[in-house]
Amino acid sequence: MYRSHNCGELRIADVGKEVTLSGWVQRIKNRGVLNWVVVRDRYGTTQLVFDEERSASDLLEQSKTLGREFVIQAEGKVIERESKTKSMATGDIEILVTKLTVLNAAETPPFTIEDETDGGDDIRMKYRYLDIRRNPVKNSLIFRHKVAMEVRKYLSNQDFIEVETPYLIKSTPEGARDFVVPSRMNEGQFYALPQSPQTFKQLLMVGGMDKYFQIVKCFRDEDLRADRQPEFTQIDCEMAFVEQEDILNTFEGLTRHLLKEVNGVEVDKFPRVLYDDAMRLYGNDKPDIRFGMEFGELNKVAQHKEFNVFNKAELVVGIAVPGANTFTRKEIDKLIDWVRRPQVGALGMVYVRCNEDGTFKSSVDKFYDQDDLAKWAEKTGAKAGDLICVLSGKKDKTRAQLSALRMELAERLGLRKPDEFAPLWVIDFPLLEWDEESERYHAMHHPFTSPKPGQLALLATNPGDVKANAYDLVLNGNEIGGGSIRIHDKETQALMFDYLGFTPEEAKAQFGFLMDAFQYGAPPHGGLAFGLDRLVAILGGQETIRDFIAFPKNNSGRDVMIDAPATIDNEQLKELNLKLDL
Amino acid sequence: MYRSHNCGELRIADVGKEVTLSGWVQRIKNRGVLNWVVVRDRYGTTQLVFDEERSASDLLEQSKTLGREFVIQAEGKVIERESKTKSMATGDIEILVTKLTVLNAAETPPFTIEDETDGGDDIRMKYRYLDIRRNPVKNSLIFRHKVAMEVRKYLSNQDFIEVETPYLIKSTPEGARDFVVPSRMNEGQFYALPQSPQTFKQLLMVGGMDKYFQIVKCFRDEDLRADRQPEFTQIDCEMAFVEQEDILNTFEGLTRHLLKEVNGVEVDKFPRVLYDDAMRLYGNDKPDIRFGMEFGELNKVAQHKEFNVFNKAELVVGIAVPGANTFTRKEIDKLIDWVRRPQVGALGMVYVRCNEDGTFKSSVDKFYDQDDLAKWAEKTGAKAGDLICVLSGKKDKTRAQLSALRMELAERLGLRKPDEFAPLWVIDFPLLEWDEESERYHAMHHPFTSPKPGQLALLATNPGDVKANAYDLVLNGNEIGGGSIRIHDKETQALMFDYLGFTPEEAKAQFGFLMDAFQYGAPPHGGLAFGLDRLVAILGGQETIRDFIAFPKNNSGRDVMIDAPATIDNEQLKELNLKLDL
């Protein structure tokens, strides 16, 4: 038996007990005649004490041979600590050690195992197993487990069945790039790793499983943007005999449950925002609504003067930045530089100071009088003390630019509070989106998404106007889930593939099994998938997902700890009937 | 709203309620003036009634247009059924329908959706989504979910943390063949899909996670034997600061919990059988102990006469088959043919009838008298009415042959009862096993398994005698789990790789990250993995795993439903820097 207790559980009530603890050496305070050693495990830390008076003399000497991160076992008696500390949960007691065993010595770790470490990102990735010892990472992984368990319990209690779908499936040209797996037994053929279990969950609905979920790894071979991983985890869900309303209620229930159980936060019914409204009010289909700063469109009140920049713009739009009237001229100039960065891409920014005395001072005073600016303030909801920032240009671009500025300012002003949660549904997404490059429409969600009832005919005349039974769940400016009511009859699905440019042969080759399945009694169905990595990060109050993944890959898709991917034997290649072609 | 109730929940107390049901047409009984339609969903079946007297006339006609597996929605009133039936949970009531909607028509399915279907294996695999509608498959998947949930709840309550380990890892030459995944971003390099998360779970122990588990897909590119799948699911577990005893107790607790919660069965403390004893008593390291028929070694009582077959044999060994004295001569001859089949490979079989009057009649009466045979009966535990079957030859082969015979006879005699559960631990496995082909020792479990304390030195002199801290959990003749206490120091691990024929360079290239990790304070640790597919099948009282997997592959590793694997575009190959070499 290596331990009688863990390192986080002993309290003043345990004084007098003989205990055995095992763990890692966190700290050593050597005072010559006294030596304190703090031992750590997953559950906490406990102070061990060795002293000249009360310990056998060789034991005190032995304790001095310990180093950081040594794995030790200590037997001894729980005693009350003289100088109690609130900084440790066990801070009322310490262990007067009677026997000390070194279970494994340790080299000095390449970075300190402390909450605030001295290790950079790269070294911590290489020695991830050491990074996991640090509380911020360890607690993130435990938090992730807790979230996943609560998801499973909630859905299971609601009659959802977790069904495992296959990982070795078939490559489809639609969507992102697949990872493929050469088959040795089927020469010249490849499996693909799933980008999502989409078709399988639909087949489970055809199969009568009624309510399905799965927490499942998915794979996309895309060039990695920051904070994206080639393998990621989804909470994948599907329900039969449901309308959009049923799905929104079910997963609003799940999200509310998580916020309550995991964060102790109660939230009201989630607002539902039309996609068009989200774009108009926030320039974004995943708005952060923890703070206001809604867009005010100014065309009507800004295009009647001689200011040509605005007059020729498709959209003039502004936001009121609360309390930002105090920004210095220099700060505002920097803000203008910021919106001009290529990543944002605005040509410039007009601003209006809303003075405390009710007057306005703008960068375009040459063109606009106080009455004009008062109207701008009204449209953007600006109050005395605010700063109005105005951008103009092509509608979509300008909205995106102002959205970026809105998020940046909210961040700087501390309005994006990690412990505040503002979920909402964005609904009525367009069915199709125009792709400039291929000059055709693509499915905005995926080709299985159903159009709004009665809008099928519009596809022929105004495809861009057709709305879908598609919805996203947005939390604090992040899309944490998205889904749709699916097409469930063969004819509509064939029509959709046709609109998306598939020939009947291509559609049959790729999705024949799904269309076949639709002939044998497919129920109305729909679903949604959450991105677990992001969901957990946001619930954990973090912006980045990396600490919530035990062994993440870097931006080149490499696992630098195990050094993967790697070359393989020629023999392995030969067995797979492959040759490198570099 | 598609339904107010599901098809399995209405009872006599619901009579009078207006309800809406949705589901599939299971059966139609058309009596002209009366039409009954049974509608089915995941939760059960309910009878709908349409009749000339009580239904609108067009509704009766409409109901006659339905076909099997049509997806329908029916509104109506719950009424008491005249001829109640116990064969349906809802058999006390039926629905007098007032409105019928066909949600989706259906082609006649290629096989009947009934518990006993007329569909063969191949057609059911191709239309797996229809097969899943059948109770035996549907209930197996629901059962699997229930088992997995109980595993998660139990381990989670015991402070285990489920941690997701990566799927895109690194290929290792040790063990079975890996599936590999070409990396586009890292030219000429490949990921491998994990055969198990072995090294990652050990790194999590080095990382202080203390108690880890994961229900996780694993992959092996092996030629498929019957009832093996290229992708399979493990309950993977690891604990730090434990000895073998701690692990056995923990997972005995889990198994006991499952048997209780899922099967309603209470079992005693699991027997622990030494590997050597399992081989001696059952000829098998995964004995089925639901029935006796333990081996009796007969060398001492059968090698003193003129019967040379026995005299020159390394082992003479028999089993007492209960009640089998009644076997006819013809039946016994068939049994002898059975052991002579190439799959078993015995040269012949000696038998002894234990007559009810206490006398014996054997096939070797020429050589052995009643006193001799009485001793055989004593050694094999045979009673009056039993049949003793005796095989002889080389020790290992003969044991395997008699084990096969023992299982076959138990099966024929109905002794392998699917609702009886007899778990046991097999412990003290050998560390190494001799491989005839490569003429060297291989790790029997895996190269991370620790030898028994104090036996390390034996490696140099008698490697085959070294026992490992390795154990299997056996249930009803199947290995459902196995694991070991691991090596946790770099020196021992290096020594082990050396004994297994790795050069230091190979060991470093393949497992350098693990040996590095051992330098930085690795705790003593060990673990175990259950095969979930098999565990679920056995708990479900089945011999084959296929019905417990939603979308299984066939024996060529193909998914015949989606037709995977498949060829991929040349463009895809080019992006991966690969060429086919057929």
Taking the CA of residue B443 and the nearest CA in chain A, the distance in Å comes to 22
Contacts of B517 (CB under 8 A, 6+ apart): A129, B202, B203, B206
Q: Locate tokens 């497992």: which residue?
A: B511
Question: 3-class SS at B266?
Answer: coil
Rounded (10°) angle between helices B490-499 and B504-519: 160
Integer CA distances (angstroms), B513 to A43, B46, B507, B518, in order = 26, 60, 10, 9
H helix or E strand, kind and range, residue B249: helix B244-263
pLDDT-derived band at A437, boundaries 50, 70, 90:
confident
Of B1, B120, B93, nearest in space to B38 by CA: B93
Q: Locate tokens 């919660």: which residue?
A: B261
Q: Which residues of A112-139 are buried (b: 16+ CB within 10 A; e: fewer)?
A: ebeeebebeeebbbbbbbbbbbbeebbe
Of A553, A509, A456, A474, nearest in space to A179 by CA: A553
Instruction: Name the closest residue on chain B to residue A3, using Cα atoms.
Output: B241
Distance CA A411, CA A321 (A): 12
- Cβ contact A156–B165 (<8 Å): no
Contacts of B170 (CB under 8 A, 6+ apart): A559, A562, A563, A564, A565, A566, B191, B192
In this structure, the number of other CB atoms found within 10 A of the CB of residue B512 comes to 13
Binding residues of B for ATP: 220-222, 229, 479, 531-534
> Do residues A205 and A198 lie in contact, with contact meaning Cβ atoms separated by under 8 Å?
no
Distance CA B76, CA B447 (A): 66
Q: Which residues on B lie below 8 Å from A450 (Cβ)?
A: none
B506 or A183, greater pLDDT: A183
Cα-based angle B575, B578, B582 (whole degrees, multiple of 5): 140
Nearest to B200 among A41, A230, A551 (CB): A551
pLDDT-derived band at A248, boundaries 50, 70, 90:
very high
Of B478, B458, B479, B462, nearest in space to B470 by CA: B479
Distance CA B544, CA B28 (A): 33
Q: Beta strand A44-51 with A93-104: parallel, antiparallel or unpaired?
A: parallel
Residue A196 has a pLDDT of 95
> Do residues A113 and A129 lie in contact, with contact meaning Cβ atoms separated by under 8 Å?
no
Contacts of B427 (CB under 8 A, 6+ apart): B244, B248, B272, B273, B274, B275, B470, B471
Instruction: Name the closest residue on chain B to residue A152, using Cα atoms.
Output: B149
The answer to whether the complex's ipTM is over 0.90 is yes
Taking the CA of residue B326 and the nearest CA in chain A, the distance in Å comes to 48
Q: Beta strand B93-104 with B44-51: parallel, antiparallel or unpaired?
A: parallel
Nearest to B183 among A193, A557, A563 (CB): A557
Contacts of B577 (CB under 8 A, 6+ apart): A580, A581, A582, B182, B184, B187, B188
Distance CA A104, CA B68 (A): 68
Instruction: Name the closest residue on chain B to residue A558, using Cα atoms.
Output: B186
Q: Beta strand B180-182 with B71-80: parallel, antiparallel or unpaired?
A: unpaired
Residues B476, B175, A552, A212: is their CA dihedral positive or negative?
Answer: negative
- Cβ contact B567–A208 (<8 Å): no
**Residues A457-493 pLDDT 10s:** 888 889 889 999 999 999 999 999 999 999 999 889 9
Q: Beta strand B180-182 with B161-162: parallel, antiparallel or unpaired?
A: unpaired
- Cβ contact B179–A168 (<8 Å): yes
Taking the CA of residue B252 and the nearest CA in chain A, the distance in Å comes to 17
Q: Which residues on B lie below 8 Å from A570 (Cβ)?
A: none
Question: 3-class SS at B255?
Answer: helix
H helix or E strand, kind and range, residue B272: strand B272-274
Whether A451 shows a pLDDT value over 90: the answer reads yes
> Do residues B189 and A566 lie in contact, with contact meaning Cβ atoms separated by under 8 Å?
yes
**Residue ranges with strand state E in A31-163:** 34-41, 44-51, 71-80, 93-104, 161-162
In the beta sheet, which residues pair with residue A526?
A: A239, A485
pLDDT-derived band at A445, boundaries 50, 70, 90:
confident
In the beta sheet, which residues pair with residue A564?
A: A559
- Cβ contact A145–B129 (<8 Å): no
Instruction: Name the closest residue on chain B to residue A561, using Cα atoms.
Output: B513
**Residues A520-560 pLDDT 10s:** 999 999 999 999 999 999 999 998 899 999 999 998 999 99
- What radius of gyration do chain A's Cα atoms show? 30
Instruction: Name the closest residue on chain B to residue A569, using Cα atoms.
Output: B173
Integer CA distances (angstroms), A60 to A50, B95, B96, B529, in order = 5, 83, 87, 42
Secondary structure string (H, E, C) spanning B493-562: HHHHHHHCCCCHHHHHHHHHHHHHHHHECCCCEEEEEEEHHHHHHHHCCCCCCHHHCCCCCCCCCCECCC
In this structure, the number of other CB atoms found within 10 A of the CB of residue A198 comes to 22
Q: Got the DSSP string for A141-162?
A: HHHHHHHHHHHHHHHHHTT-EE
> Do residues B476 and B422 lie in contact, with contact meaning Cβ atoms separated by under 8 Å?
yes
Q: Which residues on B lie below 8 Å from A186 (Cβ)?
A: 556-558, 565
At residue A390, what is the residue type?
V
> Do residues A503 and A511 lie in contact, with contact meaning Cβ atoms separated by under 8 Å?
no
Q: Which residues on A lie below 8 Å from B453 (Cβ)?
A: none
Residue B32 has a pLDDT of 87
**Residues A149-160 pLDDT 10s:** 999 999 999 999
Instruction: Name the closest residue on chain B to residue A71, using Cα atoms.
Output: B521
- What radius of gyration do chain B's Cα atoms show? 30
Nearest to A2 among B144, B167, B524 (CB): B524
- Cβ contact A522–B71 (<8 Å): yes
Secondary structure string (H, E, C) spanning B109-173: CCCCCCCCCCCCHHHHHHCHHHHCCCHHHHHHHHHHHHHHHHHHHHHHHCCCEECCCCCCECCCC
**Domains (range + CATH), chain A:** 12-104 (2.40.50.140), 138-271+424-548 (3.30.930.10), 291-415 (3.30.1360.30)
Residue A174 has a pLDDT of 67
Taking the CA of residue B258 and the nearest CA in chain A, the distance in Å comes to 17
Q: Beta strand B44-51 with A423-427: parallel, antiparallel or unpaired?
A: unpaired
Return the structure tokens found at B107: 């082609």
Residues B247, B248, B249, B252: is their CA dihedral positive or negative?
Answer: positive
- Cβ contact B562–A1 (<8 Å): no
Residues A521, A524, A530, A531: is their CA dihedral positive or negative?
Answer: positive
**Residues A370-427 pLDDT 10s:** 999 999 999 999 999 999 999 999 999 999 999 999 999 999 999 999 899 999 999 9
- Cβ contact B171–A574 (<8 Å): no
- Cβ contact A217–B167 (<8 Å): yes
Distance CA A4, CA B449 (A): 25
Residue A32 has a pLDDT of 87
Q: Which residues on A lie below 8 Å from B69 (Cβ)?
A: 520-521
- Cβ contact A580–B578 (<8 Å): yes
Low-confidence ranges of chain B (pLDDT < 50): none
In this structure, the number of other CB atoms found within 10 A of the CB of residue B141 comes to 23
Taking the CA of residue A262 and the nearest CA in chain B, the distance in Å comes to 15
Distance CA B67, CA B505 (A): 68
Instruction: Write down the mean pLDDT value for chain A.
Output: 95
Q: Got the DSSP string for B193-229?
A: --S--HHHHHHHHHTT--EEEEEEEEE---PPPTT--
Binding residues of A for L-aspartate: 174, 220, 445, 486
- In chain B, the N- to C-terminal Cα span, in Å, equals 55
Taking the CA of residue B497 and the nearest CA in chain A, the distance in Å comes to 18
**Residues B488-547 pLDDT 10s:** 998 899 888 888 888 989 888 888 889 999 999 999 999 999 999 999 999 999 988 999
Best of B4, B224, B555, B568 to substitute, by most chain A Cβ atoms within 10 angstroms, is B568
Q: Which residues on B lie below 8 Å from A231 (Cβ)?
A: 166-168
- Cβ contact B168–A520 (<8 Å): no
Taking the CA of residue B227 and the nearest CA in chain A, the distance in Å comes to 16
Return the structure tokens found at B535: 């565990």
Return the structure tokens found at B254: 């889990």
**Residues A95-137 pLDDT 10s:** 999 999 999 999 999 999 999 999 999 999 999 999 999 999 9
Taking the CA of residue A226 and the nearest CA in chain B, the distance in Å comes to 15
Question: 3-class SS at B92?
Answer: coil
Q: Locate tokens 């003989």: which residue?
A: A18
> Do residues B192 and B172 lie in contact, with contact meaning Cβ atoms separated by under 8 Å?
yes
